[in-house]
Amino acid sequence: MACVYIPVQNSDEEVKVNLDELPLDASYILDILKAEQAPLDIWLIIAACVHFSRGQYVDSLQLCKGDYGKAGMYYMASIKKAKNPHEFALPCYGLGQVQLKLGDLQGALTNFEIVLEVQPKDCGTLKALGHIYVQLGQNEKAQELFRKATKIDPQDPQYPEYTDANLRLAAIAKARNDVQLSVKLYQNCLRKFYYNTQSEVLLYLARVHYEAQQWQDCRKTLLRAIHLDPSNYTLRFDVGVAIQKSSALTLQMTMRTVDEVRATVGELRNAIRLFSLLCASSNLHFHGLDEKKIRTHVGYCSHLLEAACADQELAELEEQQNLQRLEVRRQIEFAEIRFG
């Protein structure tokens, strides 16, 4: 039977709490302990352990805001009293979370590995270890752990954790500059878990395209996100930046068609319009974006537009001259055929 030992304030005594005898809903436990005016750090640890033991794999520290240092002390006290591996698992998981919160990666790693020995298929623990290895720069180990977390039954209560593990795998692929794999994993998550309706995941995907300088794909992805979240002004700003980057790249190309230059002129006008609207709405405190930063983008896009219009004029003149030369050649060939 899983239990924790809670030291009594101003006393050498400890109270043993059998977790399996507590109410099924962790919120009821919080209500009871609040009514008894129990110190915050006591019901923090109990609620955290119960929340974990009942298969609700969220960050148990988010149940309430307490003193992490004291919470860690109570977890360690529970570990010292544990008599079998299953009693170790719950307080070790909680202590690992506290250590992770306080930046003690090695300590958290040790405690989560203890939990994993007892519960090798626990998705939350696999994810926590994967996160630590990412922080330590050991992406291969992190990848292996996240892959294990994705190999669970969709009917398992841990299934939401499975989704997050897939997203973390995509993030690792991005960090390793494996653009193709990262895009594939994010697209699979969107299609399989979110039915292409999650703007946050679309933003992750757009960042992959952005860092790979795939500007058009980045822009298309951001527009999909805006369609789902039209009030997100940051997404609109990001679209403007993607257009700006794409346009600058096109203007730097030595070989470009007239149609590409025309399209760039139109895109830059759209970007200026977009940034100008964001700049105007900044006075109304709609989005919290830096007005000076937006004005800088307006100025740069205006400079690019001026250059693009000049390039368009030259390109259209060259195109017209080429058409005239082709027409003269056609007429000469026709005359040669006619007069033999």
pLDDT value for 158: 57
Q: Is the pLDDT of residue 107 over 80?
A: yes
Which residue range(s) make up the domain with 315?
Answer: 231-340
Domain count, the chain: 3
Q: Are residues 209 and 246 in the same domain?
A: no
pLDDT of the residue at 79? 76
| Mean pLDDT rounded to a whole number for the chain | 80
- Could you tell me if residue 104 is inside a domain? yes
Q: Rounded distance, CA 4 to CA 42, Å? A: 10
Predicted pLDDT of residue 164: 83
Which region among 75-89, 182-196, 303-317 has the lowest average model confidence (pLDDT)?
75-89
Q: Which H or E run contains 18?
A: strand 14-18
Same domain, 255 and 322: yes
Q: Which residue has the higher pLDDT, 317 or 39?
A: 317
Residue type, 222: L
| Cα distance between residue 7 and residue 116, in whole Å | 27
Same domain assignment for residues 238 and 334 = yes
Phi, psi for residue 268 in degrees, rounded to 5 = -65, -35
255 shares a domain with 209: no
The structure tokens 């570990």 sit at 79
pLDDT value of position 129: 95
Q: Which of 8-22, 31-45, 130-144 has the lowest mean pLDDT?
A: 31-45
- The region of weakest confidence among 147-151, 309-313, 317-321 is 147-151
Instruction: Clarify whether residues 253 and 207 are in a common domain.
Output: no
Measured over the CA atoms of residue 80, residue 85, residue 87 and residue 91, the dihedral's sign is positive
CA atoms within 13 A on the CB side of 152: 25
- Same-domain check for residues 164 and 75: no
Same domain, 78 and 167: no
- Residue of 52, 205, 72, 169 lying closest to 118 (CA atoms): 52
Of the pLDDT bands very low, low, confident and very high (cuts 50, 70, 90), residue 7 is low
* Residue 128 falls inside a structural domain: no
For residue 97, pLDDT over 90 is answered with no
From the CB of residue 93, how many other CB atoms can be counted at a distance below 10 Å?
27
Mean of the pLDDT values across residues 13-38?
53
Same domain for 248 and 177?
Answer: no
Range ranked top by mean pLDDT from 16-20, 51-55, 83-87, 285-289: 83-87
CATH number at residue 12: 1.25.40
Q: Are 115 and 140 in a shared domain?
A: no
317-331 pLDDT, tens digit each: 988 998 899 988 888
Q: Which amino acid is at 227?
A: H
Whether residue 235 is found in the same domain as residue 184: no
In this structure, is residue 224 part of a structural domain? Answer: no
226 within domain boundaries:
no
Return the number of other C-beta atoms located less than 10 Å from residue 70's C-beta.
Answer: 16
| pLDDT more than 70, % of the chain | 71
pLDDT at 334: 81
**What's residue 27's pLDDT?**
47
Q: Please indicate, yes or no, if residue 221 is contained in any of the structural domains.
A: no
pLDDT of residue 30: 47
Average pLDDT over residues 193-203: 89
In this structure, the answer to whether residues 4 and 109 fall within a common structural domain is yes
Quickly state the pLDDT bin for 32 (edges 50, 70, 90). low
**Is 195 within the bounds of a domain?**
yes
Sorting pLDDT into bands at 50, 70 and 90, what band is 208? very high
Rounded (10°) CA dihedral 187, 192, 197, 203: -30
Question: Does the pLDDT at position 4 exceed 90?
Answer: no
**In which residue are the tokens 């609207």 written?**
277
